[in-house]
Structure 1
Amino acid sequence: MARTEQGGDRAGAFFLATLLLWLVSILFEILFNRRDELVYVIAGCLFFQAANWIVRRCISRDPLFVNTFVSLLHSSTTSASVVYILLSQWMKDGSGTMFEHTQLVGGAWPWAYKALCFSCGYFAYDQWDMLQYRLYGGWIPSILVHHLILLLCFTLALYRNVTINYLILTLVCELHSIFLHSRKIRRMVGIRDAESMIVKVEWVLNWGTFFLARLVPHILITAKLIKDSSKFRSGVELPLALFGMAGMNMLNAGLAIDLFGAFRREISPMNSNRRRD
C-alpha cells in the first residue's frame, strides 16, 4: 500500500464522501429506525481505532506500520471468529443443511450477524485511516474500491438481514490476509533474508491460504450463487451478491499477480546467490 501522490486527491475526495454518506446512513438506522443491533458496527469502528491509537503510542508512529498492524489484528480476530462460527454450526447441524440456500440467504448462524457488523466497522475504520494518511495510490486505488464494495455489500445485507451466512463464508479469506499483513510487517522490521526459514515458511503459508482460503472459496461461492439463482426472490439480493463476488474475484486476480511479483522479487537474492555459487 503506497502513499498516494497528488494525482490521487480526487479519488480521495470521492471515497471520503462515500464514507461520510455511509456513516450518516448507519447512524440514521440506529437512531431513527431503532436498529440497535447495528451498534456493533460502530463498536467495530471504535475498537480498531482504539487499537490504532495504542499501536501509534506504544510501538510506532509510522502510519503505514500502524495501519498494517491493525489490519493484522482484524484478520486474526475475524479468522478466529469465522472458524468458530463455521465449526460450531458444522458440529451442530453438519454440512447437510449448513449450506442450503435457505440457510445461506435467509438465516444467520449464531454470532454471524455480530461478527459481520464488527468486520464492517473495521472496513469503515480502515477506509478512514487510509484516507487520513493517504495510504493509497493511483487514480482508482484498488484498496479503496475493495473497501467500498465490501461496505456496500455488508451494509445492505445487514440492513435487510439477508445473505449474512454467505458473507461470513467470504470472510474465510481473512486467513490469507493474516500472512499478507505479517509479511509486510516482517519486511518493515527488517527481516528480509530470503533464505531464512521464517521467510520460506511464510511464503508456503501465504500461497497455501491464498488458494485454499481466498481464491477457491470465492469461486465456489460464486458458483453456488449462479447455481441457486432461480431460488432467489426478485429483488436486489442476487444482483448485489453477484456484483460483490465479481468484484472480489477480479481483485483476487489482481492480488495473485501482485503476490507472484512480490514472490519473484523476494526470492531473487536466492537465485542470484545460486548463480554466483
Structure 2
Amino acid sequence: MPIPTSPALPVLPVLQADCGNCFALCCVALPFAKSTDFAVNKSAGTPCKNLQQDFRCGIHTRLRDKGFQGCTVFDCFGAGQQVSQVTFGGRDWRAHPETRAQMFEAFPVMRQLHELLFYVAEALTLPAAAPVHPALRTALTRTEALTRADAKALTSLDVGALRQEINPLLLKASELVRAKVPGRRKNHRGADLMGAHLSGADLRGANLRGAYLIAADLSGADLRGADLIGADFRDTNLRGADLRDTLFLTQPQLNAAQGTPTTRIPPSLTHPTHWHPTNP
C-alpha cells in the first residue's frame, strides 16, 4: 500500500513480508493445530516439519495440496524481517540459540505493531479523514518508534493497550470517509454473517468491522467504501465483487477468500495465486 511521506513523519519499515530476510519466524515461533488449515499439530517455538536448513519451506509451491492452506493465508506485515534484521541484527536462532526464546516471543508483538502501522498509514492517505490526521500522525510516530525497541522492551509491551488507543482514531477516520458515500449505509459491525447469501448486495460504505463472513456469498457485491478492518473472509466468495476503495482491507483477508482475477481489489493489493483457474 502507498505509505504517506512527509518530513514530519518517520520512515516506516516495509509493511509486507520479505521472507528472504527473515529466519522463517512464522514457521517456528507460531503454533498451529491440525485442522482444515493445517495437516498437523505444531507447538510454538518448534520448527515446522517442512522447514529446511536454509530457512525455506520445502513444500512452498504445494502448500495447499499438502494441507497447509493456513500458511498461504498468513502475512506478517514485514514483522519477520524487522525482528530478524533489526531487533536481532541478523543473528539467526540456529547459529545463536540464545536468541530463540526472545526472538520467538518478539515476533508476534512486532506483527501486531506492523499491522497497526499498516492501518494508520492507510488512514493518513484518506483526504476525508483530515480532521483526525494530526492524532494519527502522533500514533504513527509512536508506533514506529516501538518497532525499533530492543527485544526486552518488545516482549514487555502491552500491545492491547496500544490498540485501544489507536482503534478510536481508525474508527473516526472510517466514519468521516463513509459519511461521504451516498445512500443508506449498512451497519454489520461484528455481525455473524457466516454462510450469508449476499450475492450482488449493495454494501457501499457499510461497517463490516469484525464481521464473521466465513463462507458467505459476496459474489458480485459492491463493497466500495466499506470498512473491512478485522472482517473474517475465510472461504468468502468474492467472485465478481468490487472491493475498490474499501477501508483497511489486507492481503491476508484476500488470501483467505475465494475469488477470480476479475474480482476488483485496491491497486496496493494483489490477487492471490489460488484465484487463478490454473491454480488449485
Under TM normalisation by the shorter chain, which class is it? under 0.3
Q: TM-score, length-normalised on structure 2? A: 0.27
User: Whose helix fraction is larger, Structure 1's or Structure 2's?
Assistant: 1
Higher relative contact order (CA 8 A, sep 6+): 1
Normalization by structure 1: what TM-score? 0.27
